[in-house]
Amino acid sequence: GTPLRDLAAAKGIYMGVALANGTLSSDATYKSIAATQFNTVTPENEMKWDTIESSKGSFNYSGGDAIVSFAQANSDKVRGHNLVWHSQLPGWVTSLPTNQVQAAMENHITNEVTHYKGKIYAWDVVNEPFDDSGNYRTDVFYNAMGGGVAYIADALKTARAADPAAKLYVNDYNIEGTGSKSDAMYNLVKSLKAQGAPIDGVGFESHFIVGQVPSSLKANMQRFADLGVDVAITELDVRMPTPATTANLNQQATDYANVVNTCLAITRCVGVTAWDLDDGHSWVPSTFSGQGAATLYDASYNPKPAYTAVQNALGGG
Ligand code: G3I
């Protein structure tokens, strides 16, 4: 059949995948499927703060550069993930005196965005700023800079100055359906817009449980789009108990198609990124014991019913 990347392009969206550089360089099948089927790449870990600047002022771009080279060789877009996040943050940042945090954040953003200037389609500038109740996480950035909107606006402005062409996103999970966390993100975007901060998009991670794609997904993404930002599905996977049953694999196919159809139905939805290529390289089993089978390909790289469902949703098959 026609690769997902071509089907998606014909429909005006991208089909992306999160990749790990270690696997790209050691596994030819993984690399070949990534190249053939997807036209946008997100580095799974290689552009995070703990990898890029593990000690103050010392920057390591090797893994991120390798992913960017792979993407460029395949004419793929790259989603930069991510610049500011409470997790995968080295200890030197969390132990800084409060009055040095803003400078460290701005320096990190400026250095990384400048390094990749012209090569990144969109940055997740701030990742996961909210807890599950929809309160700002009171992390080192929040505490040092006078609250959520303030540090996020500053991060966005710093990124914009370093690469004016890159789209700037805030990204989070459990904001896909309506609810208090989604409302918190909605109010953040409104506040950022009201003060003229450079926010271009909202990323809906979409780490779903089989059969539980929120029924409000479309209406919720549309209300963000109506604020004047792009929206994207940035980390899609659909987990289930393992070993997977046929019934769950079929429900998963329905779930994946539902998400792709939702993106297609929203003018400002720019694309869908699958979080990990195959079940053998998914983050899910190590985080959720007894669960997995969350991706489009099984651990032997056979396309699953979900793959066929995505293909059909994109008008192929
Ligand atoms: O690289 C080290 C290795 O040297 C060490 O031996 C090993 C032992 O634990 O750890 C390896 O690092 C792991 C890293 O993935 C690379 O494999 C970390 O422990 C592990 O925590 C890390 O997990 C990543 C996770 O983010 C960290 O929060 C996952 O791969 C990655 O898929 C996941 O991605 C996040 C997004 O960035 C944000 N949204 C949620 C999503 C899923 O959690």
ipTM for the predicted complex:
0.94
CA of 44 to the centre of ligand 1 (A): 8
The predicted-structure confidence for 78-124, as pLDDT tens digits, reads as follows 999 999 999 999 999 999 999 999 999 999 999 999 999 999 999 99
Quick one: pLDDT at residue 41? 98
Ligand 1 centre distance from Cα of residue 283 (Å): 7
pLDDT digits (tens, 9 = 90+) for 225-265: 999 999 999 999 999 999 999 999 999 999 999 999 999 99
Active site residue 128: yes
Could you give the angle at which helices 101-115 and 148-162 cross, rounded to 10 degrees?
30
**Per the residue annotation, which of 44, 112, 128, 205 is the catalytic one?**
128
Mean pLDDT value across the chain: 98
**Those residues with Cβ within 8 angstroms of residue 222's Cβ, 6 or more apart along the chain or in another chain:** 266
Average pLDDT of the residues in 31-37: 98
| CA–CA gap between residue 307 and residue 317 (Å, rounded) | 10
Residue 235 Cβ contacting ligand 1 at under 6 Å? yes
Please give the pLDDT value at position 317. 74
Q: Which of 26, 42, 45 best tests ligand 1's pocket when mutated (most atoms within 8 Å of CB)?
A: 45
Which pLDDT does position 225 carry in this prediction?
Answer: 98
Taking only the tens place, the pLDDT of each residue in 35-66 is 999 999 999 999 999 999 999 999 999 999 99
The residue nearest atom 41 of ligand 1, judged by CA position, is: 235
Does the C-beta of 215 come closer than 6 Å to ligand 1? no
Is 176 an active-site residue?
no
Confidence bin at 212 (pLDDT 50/70/90): very high
The confidence score (pLDDT) of residue 218 equals: 98
- Which residue puts its alpha carbon closest to atom 11 of ligand 1? 45
45 lines ligand 1 (CB under 6 A): yes
Ligand 1 within 6 A of CB of 121: no
Phi, psi of 103 (to 5 degrees): -65, -40
49 lines ligand 1 (CB under 6 A): no
Band (290; pLDDT cuts 50, 70, 90): very high
Q: Is 163 in the pocket of ligand 1 (CB under 6 A)?
A: no
